[in-house]
Structure 1
Amino acid sequence: MNNNLNFWFGMYNPATDSIIVNTGENAILVFCCKECNSSVIFDNPTDIVYLYRLAEESPLLYAKLALKENGLQDYVDAMNER
């Protein structure tokens, strides 16, 4: 995956539970949160709220983490250590 993507704009769409990102190259990326979240192992099932809050409040960060190997897992693990 190209880690040098330039994300211009991103938004969370609750109706489709997805993040839509404009890359500025006449292209968009769509991240299905349900699919991305399914790769994360939660210590507590309610920890999924960390990912939904991230998707709603910081969709570009969510997208960037989703593109990194273990990015979303590392985020949830870090939130649990707070």
Structure 2
Amino acid sequence: MKQNKPCYLFGMYEPDTNSVIVNALNNTYTGTPLTISCKKCNSSVLLDTPDDIAYLYRLAQESPLLYAELACKPNGLQEYVNAMNEFN
């Protein structure tokens, strides 16, 4: 059976609300924006140093769709921060 996964068309970081807003579309989801609070999502991530929060804010600002995808996955943002720490 085919699932109706949303197709994310557009995403942007909204600095006034510190959130990522994503518009999606599929057969049953007709484009109502999805708003993801960065403050709430980022608060669940364990940081090695307080400066590591910059990885998440930069991701939200420069790649909001990737941020939204990772925020919707269990441990997605945590794994991203862990990977960034490995590279740096």
Using structure 1 for the length normalisation, give the TM-score: 0.93
Q: How many residues end up aligned between the 2 structures?
A: 81
1:42 correspondence with 2:47? yes
Encode CA deviations 1:8-64: one digit per residue, 9 max, x unaligned.
Answer: 000000011001000122211000000000010000011000000000000000000
Seq. identity, %: 60
Larger Rg: 2
Unmatched tracts of structure 1, length 5 or more: none
Q: Report the counterpart of residue 79 of structure 2 in structure 1.
A: 74
Q: Report the counterpart of residue 55 of structure 1 in structure 2.
A: 60
Runs of at least 4 residues off by over 3 Å:
none
- Letter of the structure 2 residue corresponding to residue 35 of structure 1: K
